[in-house]
A and B are shown apart, each in its own frame.
Chain A
Amino acid sequence: MKLCDHTALELAEMLRKRQCSAKEIYLDTLQRAKEKQDSINAYITFNDEAEKAAEAVDNMLADGKELTLIAGIPIAVKDNISTKGLRTTCASKMLSDYISPYDAFAVERLKSAGAVIIGKSNMDEFAMGSASDTGYYGAVRNPVNTSYSAGGSSGGSAASISYGGALLALGSDTGGSVRQPASLCGVVGFCPSYGAVSRYGLIAFASSLDRIGAIGRTVSDTFILHNIINVADPKDVTMSDIFCSFNLKGELKGVKVGVVKELFDCFMDDDVRSSVMAAIKLMEKNGAVIKEISIPSIRSAVNAYYIISSAEASSNLARYDGIRYGYRSDGSGSLAEMYRKSRSEGFGTEVKRRIMLGTFVLSEGFCDDYYKRAAALRRRLCAEFNEAFEQCDIIAAPVYPQAGIKLGESKDPIDVYSADVFTVPSSMAGLPSISIPCGKNKEGLPVGLQLIGNRFCDNMVFDAAYGYELVGGGIND
């Protein structure tokens, strides 16, 4: 067993017991990451400064300094989170040369906590996609079976955790982009309450939905990373100032687990259905109380999600015009031509499709029927979730209808979008949710269980997931 095959918490302890050095952990993890780069393609850029960061941690340990639990732990950062001096591409030709002159708040937190940022992980272009196959740097393959996708959009982050190319990772979740790849790669992915983690420096896809989430091999690992970034930042005014005190007990007894009738009426693979049902049964067996609940608008959430996220994306991605940063077409003549050519050559097909959809739903004559109706549905959905959480503490649901996404098959966007039905409701309502491994399908591909909590009950989500992990769920099954 190599160092990179341990959990982050185990390594944190080994570091303190001087059983290994941060540099050894880093070099071991980097070696694994590089070995697998050709087959998995989890990284876009490796960080040349990482070794120095690891050495700095070793020096601090030698000096007897008090360190955080993530100090010296190799962490992958999704390539839409700005890192000063290290390129941040969003897996787009548009930003293939872009070097941010500042660090995202979450990255600042990692650096000051002594984390070793091993590199920037691959993803869907501008986080738009479900298979990490829309990006400029090629698809991310699933370490469990390389003919499958790692999921998306944080595919590189989830994959690197799965094969030991990083111990922890930051991803971003707009409509499921942390939870879904975590589910497909068999790791834990947490999407915090909207407003619990600063978005400053996260390159925007859909501002009212975007969140930075932690990915790890276990609930506890994921939890320690989330704790580092769950800190107030005045630079993001959409942050809440509610910060929960976190500690994991893992008690399932008496926890009321809601099962949303409408979600289980949706299509999903039999293997997925049986794994998720088995997980819920296991929780019940260990003291949880299962309740069937109804959230009538939950299935329309995915339609409203594509309207709102695309609308915001069309505006957020309008700034890529080739003037201040990013790709500029050589063949541009007039101003209008430069805009058109730079954007058309710089963006990939999926991004263009979303920008087009977003432009349309906001345009004159259509805004009322699309954007405003979607926003109204979103408000109704929030109200329905509120009611639901009067009847239960946690909602259990699948993460994705399938256990695996075959790479290379051409897919109809409508089918791809519709498959987000389980992850987007909590995205739309700003709720915290987690994906935790809960079994495998016939081909051995992992299946995830999603647990959703009420707004700012992030601790409860972690605790329920931890409880489930303790009684047999999780990666170590």
Chain B
Amino acid sequence: MTELESVIGLEIHAELKTNTKIFCGCKNTFGEAPNSQICPVCMGLPGTLPRLNSKVCDFAVKMGHALNCRINKVSRMDRKNYFYPDLPKAYQISQSDIPICGKGSLDILVGEKIRTIGITRIHIEEDAGKLIHDADYRGTLCDLNRCGVPLIEIVTEPDLRSTEEVRVFLENIRSILRYIGISDCKMQEGSIRCDVNVSMHEKETPLGIRCELKNVNSFSAAVRGIEYEIKRQTAIIENNGHIERETRRWDDKKGISILMRNKENAQDYRFFPEPDLGTVILSDERIDSLKAEIPELPNQKIIRYVSEYGLNCSEAFLIADAPDKAELFEQCIVKSECLPRSAANRIVGEITKYLNDTGKSVWETKLTADELSKLCAAAEKGIVSSSGAKTVLAELIENGGKVEEIIERLGLAQNSDYEYLCKLADDVIANNQRSAEDFKNGKTNALSHLIGQAMKLSKGKADPQKVKEIILNKLKTEE
């Protein structure tokens, strides 16, 4: 048998950070007391009617633009009918036949290759409530605060081929959602979740039967779930078994998937047009102006950083993922006072560490691209030592100021003047003849002693790299 390949499609649900819910004026908040954020509409009281929040459409269209989707000027809301205690109307208002965004695609960088992942559609819908399983109560408690929180559902084509691709794709999606300011993507609040479809086939043959994995509440769980599912299906196929069309529930704690429904008892959602709402119509002007709000997106930045500035994928992601870091990096590039690589190193290194430790963004620090560029340039030219540069950077972040002035004030200037360093080398060799001899006789560590002496003599101001080169040259020519 030839090698099996996994084929993966995703349905990603992201909560939108609007002020209010999708169909009523209740606040869209998280973590409030149970059933404190409800009204007659979102708790589905008899006689109530929904009213669609315009911001939800705007946000969905923005995501559509970000994923290069065809935007449907005319779309429709539909009802998806099923009974569950978290769904007060016993139907979810969603979009079935005519979603707000149609086909699109997203380019992502996996390894060193660009992969284009097809987007089937993006639609808007309402979230369900939260069920609480309290130890003291033999039953389920229903908190409806989350009912009616707006969601977009992003559905991909079965274009993903590995868990690595899934991981990168999901990271890019999350990054884009944050970039365009439509979702916080706070995993711990369940604000972004996904359903996963996995099938296995031999390359160049038709796709296999897929299984759907539900209840995947984080991106890392998605990767674990898919890994499990690939193993499970591979084992069945290798034992000459057949994969059945199934819906399975992922239990992340136990690390297993459990059968929920098979083909025979598949859910019948009885979709039909929502009669309480009219057609959603978007004007060309509105669609275009939303497009104009889309900045260059992280997935595009990543590809550019790797191909143009020689960063590796993870460095590029780390910078591009955060709008503040990306802005800092790109401003440095525009100034072209320093190498992109040196700016990237500082951002990925000390700056990221500081931001992680303090929970601040670049914008909340005193650091500017101007000074970061100057600092990188100074380090490149040896005006400041690498440890000196760290000190300056810490000062820039905490208190701001000018690089030159800080170097001066803290006495961190490094002497790279050739004549001065030659004189220094001569003095050191002359005063340490024994070490010079040792070096010539093959004791290479004698060199460090000479450099150390030079640094001591220069009160730490000499450029150690250059001093090393000069001493080495002198000792060699003396031979």
A: which residues have CB within 8 A of B? 81-82, 88, 90, 95, 98, 100-102, 104, 199-204, 206-208, 234-238, 311-312, 314-315, 318-319, 321, 323-325, 335, 339, 359, 362-364, 367, 371, 375
Q: How large is the interface on B (under 10, 10 to 19, 20 to 34, 35 or more residues)?
A: 20 to 34
Q: Select A234's contact among B47, B51, B275, beta carbons within 8 Å.
A: B51
Determine the distance from Cα of A364 to Cα of B264 in the docked complex, in whole angstroms. 13
Interface of A is mostly: loop
A172 to chain B, nearest CB (A): 11
Determine the distance from Cα of A175 to Cα of B200 in the docked complex, in whole angstroms. 52
B48 within 8 A of A: yes
Q: Are B83 and A235 touching (Cβ within 8 A)? A: no
B81 within 8 A of A: yes
Q: Are B85 and A359 touching (Cβ within 8 A)? A: no
Q: Select B270's contact among A82, A104, A207, A359, beta carbons within 8 Å.
A: A359
Q: Are A204 and B47 touching (Cβ within 8 A)? A: yes
Determine the distance from Cα of A98 to Cα of B46 in the docked complex, in whole angstroms. 10
Determine the distance from Cα of A191 to Cα of B140 in the docked complex, in whole angstroms. 44
From B47, B79, B81, B272, residue with most partner A Cβ within 10 Å: B47
Q: Are B272 and A371 touching (Cβ within 8 A)? A: yes
Determine the distance from Cα of A100 to Cα of B40 in the docked complex, in whole angstroms. 9
Chain A residues lying within 8 Å of B51, measured Cβ to Cβ, are: 234-235, 237
Q: Select A95's contact among B46, B52, B276, B278, beta carbons within 8 Å.
A: B46
From A200, A319, A359, residue with most partner B Cβ within 10 Å: A319
Q: Are A237 and B278 touching (Cβ within 8 A)? A: yes
B65-84 residues with Cβ-Cβ distance < 8 A to A are 79, 81, 83
Instruction: Given A98-B46, A101-B45, answer yes or no on A315-B277 (Cβ-Cβ < 8 Å).
Output: no
A429 to chain B, nearest CB (A): 15
Q: Are B44 and A319 touching (Cβ within 8 A)? A: yes
Q: Are B79 and A315 touching (Cβ within 8 A)? A: yes
Q: Select B90's contact among A104, A207, A318, beta carbons within 8 Å.
A: A318
Q: Are B81 and A318 touching (Cβ within 8 A)? A: yes
Provide 6 A-B residue pairs closer than 8 Å at the C-beta atoms, listed in order of the A residue.
A201-B47, A203-B46, A207-B275, A237-B50, A314-B81, A318-B81
Chain A residues lying within 8 Å of B235, measured Cβ to Cβ, are: none
Q: Are B81 and A235 touching (Cβ within 8 A)? A: no
Q: Are A318 and B83 touching (Cβ within 8 A)? A: yes
Instruction: Given A100-B46, A237-B277, A367-B272, answer yes or no on A324-B83 (Cβ-Cβ < 8 Å).
Output: no
Please, which residue of chain A has its CB at the minimum distance from the CB of B83? A339
Determine the distance from Cα of A238 to Cα of B50 in the docked complex, in whole angstroms. 10
B26-48 residues with Cβ-Cβ distance < 8 A to A are 40, 43-48
Q: Select A100's contact among B44, B47, B144, B272, beta carbons within 8 Å.
A: B47
Please, which residue of chain B has its CB at the minimum distance from the CB of A234? B51
Please, which residue of chain B has its CB at the minimum distance from the CB of A317? B90
Determine the distance from Cα of A330 to Cα of B146 in the docked complex, in whole angstroms. 29
B56 to chain A, nearest CB (A): 14
Q: Are B47 and A202 touching (Cβ within 8 A)? A: yes
Q: Select A362's contact among B50, B140, B270, beta carbons within 8 Å.
A: B270
Q: Are B52 and A237 touching (Cβ within 8 A)? A: yes
Please, which residue of chain B has its CB at the minimum distance from the CB of A359? B270
- The interface bits of chain B over 76-98 (1 if a CB of A lies within 8 angstroms of the residue's CB, else 0) are 00010101010011110000000
Q: Are B45 and A311 touching (Cβ within 8 A)? A: no
Q: Are A324 and B47 touching (Cβ within 8 A)? A: no
Q: Are B45 and A100 touching (Cβ within 8 A)? A: yes
B46-67 residues with Cβ-Cβ distance < 8 A to A are 46-52
Q: Select B85's contact among A207, A236, A335, beta carbons within 8 Å.
A: A335
Chain A residues lying within 8 Å of B45, measured Cβ to Cβ, are: 100-102, 324-325
Which are the 5 A-B pairs with shortest beta-carbon distances?
Answer: A318-B90, A362-B270, A207-B275, A208-B275, A203-B46
